[in-house]
Amino acid sequence: RASRAGAAIVVRGQRAVRSAWVYDKGWSRLTPQDGQNLLTPDTPRLEGLSEAENAAVLQEVLARRGGKEVVLYQLAQPVLPALGLEPAPQNYRITAVEVQYGLESEGAIMGGNSSEVRVLRQGASSAYTDSAPQAFLATSASSFAQLWALATGNILPRPAAPEVNFSRYSIAAFFVGQKPTGGYGVRFVGATSSAGNWRITVELLQPAPGTILTQALTSPYLILELPGAASQVEFVDASGRLLGAATAR
């Protein structure tokens, strides 16, 4: 079962879960990574179902939510006895899911914990054209709108920016810089904070030798939602090397 611990989502249970998604104004995949649960925008794709069946299940799940948040779990398929049908069908599909409506609260927001950081969006097709990396920190709707336009300017149609309560959250972003091919990226690893100053560790991804790559300019980026009012953010790699820094705008 999933519950909220501040801005983080905690999952506890004994069932074998293959995948999990959360619906709150849109679907996001819940991914355990480095001891935390990350939320990444993603529509559920249930194993064993056709595209039409998958869409029908999601429509039914959302029709019953009554305005509550939804957690959808893809479970390991159970071993079922043979279907007692005559004549037996030549083909049939099996999938195992569990749906949770609503998230319980588990205490107050904690400070400086990377499990509270949420990945709002990441990709490789931003409109940032400089070759040098750049960090941004947005603490208002207007500065976030400029940042979102920079991140999604090359995507048509441009996706709508998520709603952010800037009395409770800040937005940090890191742009790797323009690259000559595909295969480059950036991954969130962890974060710590003290008195509004955030230190965010990321991993810079590069194409492996011999990889077949998209022969087009790319510009990877990462956008994060931070709890609280941030005044400064630093992006570093695993060795602690500073990649970019920004102050509140």
Please give the tally of structural domains in the chain: 2
Closest CA to 248 of 122, 112, 143: 143
Helix (H) or strand (E) holding 177: none
Closest CA to 116 of 9, 41, 242: 9
Q: Are residues 239 and 119 in the same domain?
A: yes
d(CA 46, CA 58): 9
Q: Are residues 49 and 161 in the same domain?
A: no
Could you say which of 71, 105, 139 is where a domain stops? 105
Residue 21 structural domain: 2-105
Q: Are residues 86 and 137 in the same domain?
A: no
pLDDT at res. 198: 94
pLDDT at res. 15: 62
Q: Are residues 140 and 63 in the same domain?
A: no
Judge whether 53 and 44 are in contact, CB under 8 Å.
no
d(CA 7, CA 247): 22
Q: Are residues 24 and 84 in the same domain?
A: yes
Q: Are residues 81 and 149 in the same domain?
A: no
pLDDT at res. 112: 44
pLDDT at res. 147: 96
The answer for residues whose C-beta is within 8 angstroms of residue 7's C-beta and 6 or more apart is 109, 116, 117, 118, 169, 225, 227
Could you say which of 60, 84, 105 is where a domain stops? 105
Q: Are residues 186 and 143 in the same domain?
A: yes
Q: How would you classify the pairing of strands 104-105 and 2-5? A: parallel
Mean pLDDT by 10 residues, the chain (249 residues): 54 70 87 62 90 93 88 80 75 84 52 69 93 97 95 87 94 97 91 91 88 86 95 93 93
Cα 164–Cα 190–Cα 249 angle in degrees, nearest 5: 40
Could you say which of 59, 76, 105 is where a domain stops? 105
Q: Are residues 86 and 136 in the same domain?
A: no
pLDDT at res. 106: 41
d(CA 102, CA 4): 10
Q: Are residues 123 and 231 in the same domain?
A: yes
Q: Are residues 154 and 71 in the same domain?
A: no
pLDDT at res. 107: 36
Q: Are residues 120 and 240 in the same domain?
A: yes
Q: Are residues 62 and 156 in the same domain?
A: no
CA distance readout (Å), 89 to 34, 82, 83, 85, 96 = 44, 11, 9, 8, 19
